[in-house]
Amino acid sequence: MMLTTHVLAGLALALPVVVIAPEFAVVAPIAGAVGGALPDADMYAGHRRTLHFPVWYSIVSGPALVLALVVPTTATVALALVLVGAAVHCVMDVFGGGLELRPWEGRSDRAVYDHYHDRWIPPRQLIGYDGSPKDLALAAALAVPSLVVLEAPFHALVLALLGISTIYVLLRRRLAALAPVLVARLPVSLRRYVPERYVEDD
């Protein structure tokens, strides 16, 4: 799924905290958004494997949530939401498309790497692929509660994420066709830094 969808999911995860404990109305959404985005920091270094831990994030987020409930401080709440956001991100990716340049073709059997079981989890394609119309619909659905519950400063972020999502969805298939062309024009010394999925289609 799109990075923007994951960030919106992280924001949505923070909403119960904002409602129940308004003193965390700023740190909770920020932490949720950071957690939602965190796994995709491996975009160009072993994507969906280096920082994607569907089992481990889920395991450690449990004690972190308990700690935040027992000792609710800015640090404990932030830690819990970062971990929960990251865990949800990894699980969401399982329900999207595979790790390939054109995931709508359904050729990849790799959605997210499960370090606990030392294997790739295959894509379920419930959402289809990152940048699909269903992905945009999910992003929009996740945005609505944030627009209702969060304060005005976060509204701009939510609307910006929806705008970026819409543009990406409109361009998604064209970008997949353009990427190999651009990669082919890179010097050989730089191509080693490009994810394999872009080189394979060259």
Q: What is the per-residue pLDDT across 27-56, written as a single tens digit (0 to 9) for each?
A: 999 999 999 999 999 988 889 999 999 999
DSSP at 23: G
Orientation angle between helical segments 133-149 and 3-20, nearest 10 degrees: 20
Is 80 exceeded by the pLDDT of residue 195?
Answer: no
DSSP at 196: H
Q: Rounded to an integer, what distance in angstroms lies between the CA atom of residue 100 and that of residue 170? A: 19
Phi, psi of 125 (to 5 degrees): 60, 30
What does pLDDT average to over the chain?
Answer: 93
Q: What contacts 78, CB < 8 A, 6 or more positions away?
A: 27, 28, 30, 31
Q: Rounded to an integer, what distance in angstroms lies between the CA atom of residue 47 and that of residue 40? A: 7
Name residue 114's beta-bridge partners: 119
Q: What is the per-residue pLDDT across 71-111, written as a single tens digit (0 to 9) for each?
A: 999 999 999 999 999 999 999 999 999 989 999 999 999 99
Which of 33-42, 171-180, 182-191 has maximum average pLDDT?
33-42
Which pLDDT belongs to residue 150? 96
Is 60 exceeded by the pLDDT of residue 121?
Answer: yes
Phi, psi of 136 (to 5 degrees): -65, -40
Which pLDDT belongs to residue 141? 98
Separation of CA 138 from chain center: 12
Helix (H, G, I), strand (E, B) or coil at 5: helix
Q: What contacts 57, CB < 8 A, 6 or more positions away?
A: 39, 83, 86, 87, 90
pLDDT-derived band at 200, boundaries 50, 70, 90: low
Which pLDDT belongs to residue 185? 86
